[in-house]
Structure 1
Amino acid sequence: MLVVLVLVVRSRQPSFLSVPSLRVLLESAAPIMLLALGQMFVILIGGIDLSIAVLASFGTVLLAKWLPGMGVLGVLAMLVTLSMAGALNGFISAYLQVPSFIVTLGAMGLWSGVALTVSGASTLPLREGYDAIGWLKDLRFVEIPASGVLALVVVLVTAVLMRTLSAGRALHAMGLAERAVLMSGGRTLRLRVLAFTLSGLCAGLAAVVLGATQFSGAPTLANALLLPAIAAVVVGGSAITGGVGGPVRTLIGTLVIGVLRVGLNISGVDPAYEQVVYGVVIIAAVALTLDRSRMKVVK
């Protein structure tokens, strides 16, 4: 799918594979890649995180508030805060046995309200202290923006860790057969909390990238990235029922969504309709890849 999309877009825009175009593509795809990676952890265990984009928006607001007085420590404090917010989602879902859909739907409203309150429902410019994250916008590695390099490094390191650490293998097993993991001595509740904590951390990393590239923080800055992030996970081949997927698949899915966005722009599609396209892509991808042999009834 990725190869076909690239060929189609290049036929309409011959300069698409030029270095400047690829640089812009990777820079715009970086926050989606990080959000999709966080979403992947939760989908891998058979859950869903609807609050991840709102958390990223809240993270940009915290950066705008904390960078002027704290600098790099403000970035670290924001990452810890969003990781704890994700852990709270996981704790409620795991220990109180509330479906992740309901928990994160409620969290989406909660953190959206908090972000609006903290920001005064307005966009906050990032000026003082911006140097702590500005290098992600300005620095280049072989013409590749540092924000894109950061996203790629996070994805590849995650892929290696998930292959080598027992917790990574256990996350896959959780989605395939959680009861079997529990009976074999696995701490399924802690693994569920871990997945949501990592989701919150990735939301924080996406917030850093967005803050650096947009020069501001806003309570709705990342909200529109929820559907593209979920679409990137399912298009990349991660099963919505859990157990199947991984960081590399998510990377490929993100590139598919990134090229699709470029193709829509070249075709003159109104950006307002992009969310419609992502919704259709999600439904189609799930319909084509759903493993019905593991589900007696699809609800």
Structure 2
Amino acid sequence: MEFKDYYDTLGVKPDATDAEIKSAYRRLARKYHPDVSKEAGAEDKFKSVNEAYEALRDPSRRKAYDQLRAGGYREGDPFRGPPPNWQRETDFGGGEGGFDQESFSDFFESLFGGRSAAGRTGPRPGRDLHAQIAVDLGTAYHGGRERISLRDGSGERTLEVRIPAGIAPGQQIRLAGQGYPGMHGGKAGDLILEVGLRDDPRFKLDGRNVLVNLPIAPWEAALGATVTVPTLGGNVELRVPAGSDGGRKMRLRGRGWPGKTPGDQIVTLDVRVPKADTAEQRELYEALAKAYFEYDPRG
């Protein structure tokens, strides 16, 4: 049996705060999750990250581990087990819930797997399962449902997830009881889904503002016009002022991402020039050039 350096596994320093350990765990769990990662050995790395977090997230387990590590052990060193007084000096009955010993290494079980008969047979809740879900911009805006497939220790399963209206990228959805199973009658952990947004061909999210390019004709830009603009909440009418240049930005207040203070939609005018495919169209362009012979678009 070899010693495992759990700090090294999570890529944090031994004096890392609980928040830093949790952040590192979430980042690595997302990176190596079998449903997401294509890297070789990702599943084993995912299990190692889970084990390291289980050891370090509980104050009593972390304190005992730190004392053992202070004896000079490093990753891969031969390890024959904890000292004889290990269980008498430490109590691992508290913390943030139980764990499934079968999913962890012999090293972990040698340190934290020995419990009293009551501890082994009493109900222990399962761990939370972290995953990602990608949704369309429209679904995130209006709300809806999304089906996801998960692969974990119990096999592959499909779930239908309710997407709350106005959820933003990076926010989380918690599904109670859909995490790792509990032991000895303990309740299952939760499934925590971090929301990401799929690219949209028309709209782009910038904070709480929604960005969109609006193609318009040269005569609409020159003379002014009322044009239809798509928004995530439906089409609206926009008045384009006469003499508008391409690239001009116009703001539709309150038409951005929903929330207590809704964002705006920023419309960028994109002047499109039609081709002169016929003799008549070329003549019209020539007449326009003569009428504006003094105009220099380059200054």
Per the TM superposition, whether the score is higher than 0.5 is no
Relative contact order, CA 8 A, sep 6+: which one is greater?
A: 1
- TM-score when normalising by structure 2: 0.22
Q: Which has the higher helix share?
A: 1
Q: Name the larger-Rg structure.
A: 2
